[in-house]
Structure 1
Amino acid sequence: MSLQTTGPAGSQAPDPWRYRWTVLGVATFTQASSGFFVGGIGALGVHLQRALELSTTQLGLLVSAAQLVPLAGLLVAGELLDRHSERWVVGIGACVVAVALGAGSLAPGYGALLVALLLVGAGYSTVQPGGSKSVASWFHASQRGFAMGIRQAGLPLGAALASAVLPLVAEEFGWRATLLTGGFVALLGAGLFMGCYRRPPAPAGPFDREPSVPLAAQLRARLRMLREPSAVKIMLSGTSLISVQTGVGVLTVLHLHRTSSVDAGRAALILVASQGAGVVGRICLAAWSDRSGAGRHGIVLVCMVAVIAGLAVLMTPAGRAPVVASGVFVWLGFFGFGWYGPWVAYVAEAAPPGKTGFALGLAMSVNQIAIVTVPPALGLLVDLTASFTPAWALLCLLTVVALSVTAVAERRTR
């Protein structure tokens, strides 16, 4: 992928592929803006519990509500992305997020807020696979991991900004104003993506739209994808690490506030630091996967080992000390959020030609099962036991099992 092309008269004309950096910036911003409010729910935990008289389980259900529709929506979005331009699929989805959050600011209570967040999830279904496919189609394999890492850093970046801003908005104007803020930010992302994105100036390639083939053949091809050895590694590593990521996002502030006696404001800042570490992790780990002899999934395995170590510390008496707990959450932010960059690049490259959108949608929809079920399950464990240790133990066990199975699959593949 050269940086210059030769014009008709032999002069050097600007290379159209340079626009890939604009596409990367736009996709990253849209990712951050669409997930802004939901990413900040964890930092709003103390405020929402006071204002709406919520249990930890109910707080976890708010996160699950925003992720429920994508269980099926990601598959639908993947099919749409294989047939239509990312500009409109992603842009319209981000608009739905903005409208749903605006409507949610008028919710009379907890039940109506849950419904609004269900609609947020419907819109968000297109943003994750759409943004990933747009970046994958613009970048060569030698830079794809790095680019995907930057793009995937949009999620913890948006969550970190939300964790810093939304508690201040809630203190000053109330929880309803936080939804309006999130809706406005999502609308900015939708407008920018629809206004700036365009398809790459490339001949037909592995990330182009799916060719016209009979429906029965398409279904057979999709079933074959599920039997591939790479699918086992994708599904297990993704669900275990997304469970850790979700648990850290929801429970960090509550753990620090209740167990380590850190006030809510300072605990939210530690969550910001954890999510900021996730931004760095997604970029650095993905860039490492471009050059590592262990391959992209080898880096994911490293993240799983690091996550197990961090969770083990949280279960010890040292994990209740404010300094130690804060350091562990930053560690978990780097590895427990950073895994997503190399993981998504691996999914995109493992997909059959013409089925990148579906492969991304399928992998992300499997992750959604964990995203939907883990927050209320962890919240229920905390409510029943009055302790965070069982919650961290469950996440640690899930990761250990997934690491064992995927490490064996990795050796067999090699």
Structure 2
Amino acid sequence: MTSTAPAWLMPVVAICILQTISSFLTRLIPIVAPAMSVEFGWSGSSIGYLTASNSMGGLAILLAGSALFKQIGGMRTLQLTLSLGAVCLAFLLYPSLGVALAACFAMGLSNGAANPAGSEVLQRFSPPGKRNLMFSIKQAGVPLGGVMAGLLVPVVVALAGWRMALLACAVVVLLPIVLTWRLSAGLDEIPARTGRAFPRPTWRSLRTLGVPLASLMNNRGLLQISIVGSLFAVSQSCWFTFTVVYLVDGLGYSLGRAGMVFAVMQAGGVIGRIALGWLSDHLRSATAVLSIAAVLSAVTTALLGLTSPEWPLWAALLLAFIAGCSAASWNGVQIAEVARRSPPHMISETAAGSSILVNLTNIVAPTLFAVFVSAGGGYGHAFICAGAFSLLVLVCLPRDRGDAGTQECPVSRRLPPLS
């Protein structure tokens, strides 16, 4: 008697792989950028602008990519944007900040496509009672990609230089795309074509750019939980963007040592996202879990600003791990709550709307952080200010009786056979 794999296994694995690679493509920027900055004569704060440009790419596809999602499927869209990002790594070899900003923008497209694609697939296939856990497993791919970047990139930079590191990263991105390419036919829901695949833009079609944000107005709790994501993103984006450059420029760490701290923080995110997802299902309360994460996020981000070269390495690693479990682990529970509170026919739109708010924060927060540091405010005060935003989560969290886990998602359907 042979046992068959559960219907949800293939979607979760495939989406998690692509989510991991999308994150890897984004996280490698602040790790390889210090080596590029030294050679090209850029300031350390320029990393904030590169990261902001990357987030703008994610925002652009969330605003304008809904037709692409509908016509070719979310997973296929994610694969294509990842392919473009891998190609754009070559443009980082050119010693121009403008070219680098454009390349980072294109690399960010996959980051914007990941959440709507994953939310639509997982909401259809997640088993009842395990929705938060499934979303958190998928979101664990984000810090897992950061772990890969934090461990791989500094080693290759040290052994072969940052140019060879970019080549190695391109191979890492392209390989999973090839392995999952055929799966998208069974996971994506593609409507029958009745005319032009991509009709010419009209004034009416341009107005649909606001549909993702307008969809958040379906109920008050949906808007509140989306704002919660943007508040969490302030500390998270500053951790992801400036940890390595702060440790290298501010505390005198080597790139390898700073990469280790970054990787530990991302590893904490892998564990934390799955743990918070399980705890949310167990307690049947997303509000309680996100409240705990908000307090820990505020404390760890402020403590990062108070670190000094005298801190032992184990203390920095411990702080980074706890931050990973909190400041970098809220995403799965928050995204699952957005999907749960959304009308069933608008899950991809509300997921995109919530992601737009987060991406706006990912643009604004690192930019203001970089401006503040360049103006002489210092990394320490900037991290303390960023941590304060996490405390605002406690004010904005929706507090109603329909908390996480009290409503089941639709019964998962079985995957269609793959050719």
TM-score w.r.t. structure 2 length?
0.83
In structure 2, relative to structure 1, the CA distance for the partners of 1:106 and 1:396 (3 Å cut) is closer
CA RMSD in angstroms, aligned pairs only: 3.2
- With 348-357 and 43-52 compared, the bigger mean Cα shift is at 43-52
CA distance in 2, matches of 1:164, 1:354: 41
Give me the identity figure in percent: 21
Structure 2 SS opposite 1:385? coil
Q: CA deviation at 1:316?
A: 4.2
Aligned to 1:292: 283
Structure 2 SS opposite 1:308? helix
In structure 2, relative to structure 1, the CA distance for the partners of 1:38 and 1:307 (3 Å cut) is same
Question: Contact 1:319 / 1:325 at 8 angstroms: preserved in 2?
Answer: no
Equivalent position amino acid for 2:374 in 1: D
CA distance in 2, matches of 1:220, 1:373: 22
Deviations 1:295-329 (A, max 9, x none): 22432222111111223333446796244333222
Aligned to 1:310: 300
Matching residue within 178, 187, 194 for 2:165: 178
CA distance in 1, matches of 2:310, 2:302: 12
Question: Contact 1:313 / 1:319 at 8 angstroms: preserved in 2?
Answer: no
Equivalences for 1:202-351 in 2 at 5 Å? 223=214, 225-226=216-217, 228-293=219-284, 295-316=285-306, 321-322=311-312, 323-351=314-342
The answer to whether 1:23 aligns with 2:11 is yes
Deviations 1:325-378 (A, max 9, x none): 332222111111111111111111111111111111111011111111222221
TM-score w.r.t. structure 1 length?
0.84
Equivalent position amino acid for 1:296 in 2: A
CA distance in 2, matches of 1:208, 1:354: 14
The answer to whether 1:399 aligns with 2:387 is no
Aligned to 2:23: 35
Equivalences for 1:158-177 in 2 at 5 Å? 158-177=145-164
CA distance in 2, matches of 1:226, 1:164: 41
In structure 2, relative to structure 1, the CA distance for the partners of 1:88 and 1:44 (3 Å cut) is closer
Structure 1: stretches of 5+ with no match in the other structure: 1-11, 202-206
Question: Contact 1:104 / 1:117 at 8 angstroms: preserved in 2?
Answer: no
Structure 1 SS opposite 2:136? helix
Equivalent position amino acid for 1:126 in 2: A
Equivalent pairs, count: 391
Equivalent position amino acid for 1:41 in 2: I
Equivalent position amino acid for 1:352 in 2: P
Matching residue within 44, 54, 63 for 2:32: 44
Structure 2 SS opposite 1:262? coil
Q: CA deviation at 1:145?
A: 1.3
Equivalent position amino acid for 1:364 in 2: S
Matching residue within 79, 89, 93 for 2:77: 89
CA distance in 2, matches of 1:320, 1:243: 27
CA distance in 2, matches of 1:317, 1:97: 35
CA distance in 1, matches of 2:211, 2:244: 46
Aligned to 1:4: none
In structure 2, relative to structure 1, the CA distance for the partners of 1:267 and 1:305 (3 Å cut) is same
